[in-house]
């Protein structure tokens, strides 16, 4: 069985992917790490930014792998700065 999630991209991540979002189908029981691995396969630049990009699941930042369910939204968010 597969889990279908939406991945949304912001700022530089959006530029790399050439789109604001993609729909991914990942194996049941997968975590945010599976999403990350797929993104690196599609765009290798993600691998060099691993320590700078943040992931959020359903609007909550995550720092450890999180199990995903169908309908979840994963956001890829670059560093934010401002004044």
What value does the mean pLDDT take over residues 59-82?
A: 92
User: Do 3 and 27 contact (CB within 8 A), yes or no?
Assistant: yes
What value does the mean pLDDT take over residues 53-80?
A: 95
Query: What sign has the CA pseudo-torsion 4, 45, 37, 82?
Result: negative
pLDDT category, 82, cuts 50, 70, 90? low
Q: Are strands 21-27 and 2-9 parallel, antiparallel or unpaired?
A: antiparallel
Q: Give residue 80's pLDDT.
A: 75
Q: What are phi and psi for residue 3, nearest 5 degrees?
A: -110, 130
Residue 6 CA, chain-centre distance (Å), reads 9
Q: Which residues does residue 16 pair with via DSSP β-bridges, in sequence order?
A: none
pLDDT category, 61, cuts 50, 70, 90? very high
Q: Could you tell me the domains of the chain?
A: 2-77 (3.10.20.30)
pLDDT tens for residues 22-49? 999 999 999 999 999 999 999 999 999 9
């Amino acid at each position: 069985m597969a889990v279908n999630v939406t991945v949304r991209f912001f700022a530089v991540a959006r530029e790399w992917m050439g789109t604001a979002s993609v729909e991914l189908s990942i194996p049941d029981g997968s975590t945010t790490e599976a999403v990350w691995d797929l993104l690196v396969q599609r765009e290798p630049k993600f691998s060099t930014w691993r320590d700078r990009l943040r992931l959020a699941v359903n609007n909550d930042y995550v720092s450890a792998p999180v199990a995903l369910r169908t309908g979840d939204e994963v956001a890829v968010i670059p560093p934010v700065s401002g004044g």
